[in-house]
Structure 1
Amino acid sequence: MITVRSLATKMGSDIKALKTALRKEIEGKLGQLTPQERQRQSQIVKEKLFGLDQFKDARNISIYLSLDTEIDTEPIVRKIFQDQKRCFVPRYNKKVMEMVELHSMEDWTNLPVTKWNIKQPSFKDERKNALDEGLDLIILPGVAFTKNGDRLGHGGGYYDRFLRTVCKKQAKPPALIAVGFNVQVVDSIPTEETDYKLDMVLYSE
């Protein structure tokens, strides 16, 4: 006998399998991009972002610190400081991700690198937390996106949990904008109730 619970469990397992397959497909395509093509697309995406009112009007911005296989965010971090905005970046500890303030490009340069080759502030550093300061804009990474705002992350659920906390805490939720390469934009993504919808996805095309 098929119960509602067993059906939901099966559907959840199917969605997870579909997500895993899509991650593998997109990661393979990302691996084929040359450094020159990644920089070309990063430049276009950066200029699109800088032209948005959501970026121009934001005072407190959260942004990820990029890997080689992601849109290069160093120029975006630099622009945030040039425009005298406040910059908050992630730091990860097991299942927890928090957004803490980055003070300058010199601060960015001196950040330690994790075993995953990601720059992040040390948990020993006392830094202001975005949950206390408030955010106007969150610039998100991901593995795949749809044009209408669905997002597939790396599977850890860090951003979904963080967004849930932010949206509960702030009276006005921050704008959610993802940036990615063209190969990361797909027609559809299997989604679950815990997945957040983005306001916008920026890519070079």
Structure 2
Amino acid sequence: MAAANVLEGHPVFIQSRHIACYLPAKDEFETLHIIKMIWKARKHCYLPVLSGQDENALQFAAYDEGDALRLNRYQIQEPVNTGRSRPPQELDLVITPLLAFDSQGGRLGMGGGFYDRTFAFLHSKMNRTPKLIGLAFSSQEAEELPSDTWDIRLDGVLTEKALISFS
């Protein structure tokens, strides 16, 4: 709830209309308060879906309260109805899960590379849209994470204490 309160008053949230979030798996940061805040603000919420034309990248399906969900191959809940999807390039803000982050915007995910492949187009964009914000506990900050050329850096990280900006 504290992270949702931090995000709610931040310009990156206020200026966004199409926001992707995620439903947590295992010990990932709980997102229900953020999703409810998106709905309450009358913004559009989207969740990542693995099943699509390219199973190595993500698509983002609209998610409204009461929508049916199913477990994907990694046992992560995703919307059943993918008919109301939005291309990643047309999102304003993406809240990403992570295992660790560093002060340079490095992100350690679950190792599948889905976010890196999905947002690879950001490498060549001057105006970084959508904004990628990791969601983590402040204790998940690492001194430095290994980085590869294909890694997409975060624009910021939302913790229970603050929204840390890297840009």
TM range (shorter): 0.7 to 0.9
Deviation at 1:139, TM superposition (A): 0.7
How many angstroms apart in 2 are the aligned matches of 1:170 and 1:83? 29
Cross-structure match for 1:112: 70
Matched residues, number: 158
How many angstroms apart in 2 are the aligned matches of 1:189 and 1:172? 22
Deviation at 1:133, TM superposition (A): 7.7
Instruction: Note if contact 1:167-1:173 (Cα within 8 Å) is conserved in structure 2.
Output: no
Instruction: Note if contact 2:123-2:152 (Cα within 8 Å) is conserved in structure 1.
Output: no
CA deviation map 1:113-144 (0-9, x unaligned):
2353321123xx34222218811101111111
Cross-structure match for 1:85: 43
How many angstroms apart in 2 are the aligned matches of 1:149 and 1:181? 15
How many angstroms apart in 1 are the aligned matches of 2:72 and 2:92? 27
Instruction: Note if contact 1:146-1:201 (Cα within 8 Å) is conserved in structure 2.
Output: no
Q: What is the letter of the counterpart of residue 147 of structure 2?
A: T
Q: What is the letter of the counterpart of residue 156 of structure 1?
A: G
- Pairing of 1:17-166 with structure 2 (within 5 A): 43-93=1-51, 94-102=55-63, 104-107=64-67, 110-114=68-72, 116-122=74-80, 125-131=81-87, 134-165=90-121
Instruction: Note if contact 1:147-1:201 (Cα within 8 Å) is conserved in structure 2.
Output: no
Deviation at 1:165, TM superposition (A): 4.0
Q: Which has the higher helix share?
A: 1
Moved over 6 A (4+): 166-171
C-alpha RMSD over aligned residues: 2.3
Q: What is the letter of the counterpart of residue 136 of structure 2?
A: G
* % identical equivalent positions: 30
Flag structure 1 segments of 5+ consecutive residues without an equivalent: 1-42
Deviation at 1:45, TM superposition (A): 1.8
Per the normalisation by structure 1, the TM-score is 0.69
Q: Which has the higher strand share?
A: 2
Instruction: Note if contact 2:122-2:128 (Cα within 8 Å) is conserved in structure 1.
Output: no
Per the normalisation by structure 2, the TM-score is 0.83
Q: What is the letter of the counterpart of residue 58 of structure 1?
A: S
- Residue 116 of structure 2: SS of its match in structure 1? helix
